């Protein structure tokens, strides 16, 4: 009888174990972030920190010119967040209802600077010198898709030198390509954000553009309305506004409230 009872209990426990649902691990979620190229160095640091604290999240960051990224999202490219280097590109997505107003914030600021190769920077004094014959090529971002390029032209026009230098301009797909052209000496000078200039030992800042000569440089951040991982996107959106993240941005030269 005792053996029968033991066998019965064993069978009951075995049946219960077989009917138990397996414990599922947290689902891995990949978030796609479309971010301005000028954010790359700071965002890479922040992304590593966030992934370390959130093991179930993988961040896929697509860097490029804000205008190009905006066009991709408008045309249906998958994205969960958009981090722009210009308000007008961001506002287009808000107008299209790709981003709800309450899911967006103006997060960062930046400055526009004239740069030259380190070994030749001492020979250049500022923007006005760009009209001289010894400056043969000047690189800026393509203004239609790269906000820094549009800001640069605004400044050139405000300084009264655009007509004199337009023929010298070499357009680039984003600010990092401008930086590369200057680093390699393919151009005499370029206009980028201060944050881009600070990451390179091969270029020097010649002059900072007067903020009054161009549209304020503001970086809006927002969650895409139709994100397939809206809650997770909202969490990263909030993390980017945290003091830990803002400190990283400031360390890389951005301004933040």
Binding residues for molybdate: 38, 66, 148, 175, 193
Strand partners, 64: 36
Q: What is the DSSP string of 194-218?
A: HHHHHT-SSEEEEEEPPGGGS---E
3-state class (DSSP) for residue 42: helix
Closest CA to 77 of 222, 227, 220: 227
Q: What is the DSSP string of 138-200?
A: EEEE-TTT-HHHHHHHHHHHHHT-HHHHGGGEEEESSHHHHHHHHHTTSSSEEEEEHHHHHT-
Distance between CA atoms of residues 187 and 134, nearest Å: 11
3-state class (DSSP) for residue 13: helix
The answer to whether residues 160 and 178 touch, using CB atoms and an 8 Å cutoff, is no
Binding residues: 38, 66, 148, 175, 193
């Amino acid at each position: 009888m005792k053996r029968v009872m033991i066998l019965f209990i064993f069978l009951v426990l075995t049946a219960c174990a077989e009917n138990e649902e397996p414990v599922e691990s947290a689902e891995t979620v990949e978030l796609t972030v479309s971010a301005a190229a000028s954010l790359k160095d700071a965002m890479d640091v922040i992304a590593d920190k966030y992934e370390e604290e959130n093991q179930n999240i993988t961040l896929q960051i697509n860097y490029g010119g804000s205008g190009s990224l905006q066009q991709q999202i408008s045309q249906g490219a998958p994205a969960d967040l958009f981090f722009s280097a210009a308000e007008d590109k961001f506002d287009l997505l808000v107008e299209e209802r790709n981003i709800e107003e309450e899911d967006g914030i103006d997060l960062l600021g930046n400055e526009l600077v004239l740069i030259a190769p380190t070994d030749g920077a001492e020979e250049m004094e500022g923007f006005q010198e760009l009209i001289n014959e010894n400056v043969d090529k000047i690189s800026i971002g393509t203004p239609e898709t790269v906000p820094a390029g549009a800001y640069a032209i605004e400044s050139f026009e405000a300084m009264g030198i655009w007509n004199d230098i337009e023929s010298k301009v070499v357009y680039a797909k984003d600010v990092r390509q401008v930086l590369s052209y200057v680093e390699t000496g393919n151009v005499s000078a370029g206009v980028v954000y201060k944050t881009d200039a600070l990451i390179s030992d091969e270029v020097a800042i010649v002059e900072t553009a007067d903020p009054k000569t161009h549209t304020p440089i503001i970086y809006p951040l927002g969650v895409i309305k139709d994100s397939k991982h809206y809650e997770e996107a909202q969490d990263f959106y909030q993390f980017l506004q945290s003091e830990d993240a803002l400190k990283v941005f400031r360390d890389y030269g951005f301004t933040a409230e």
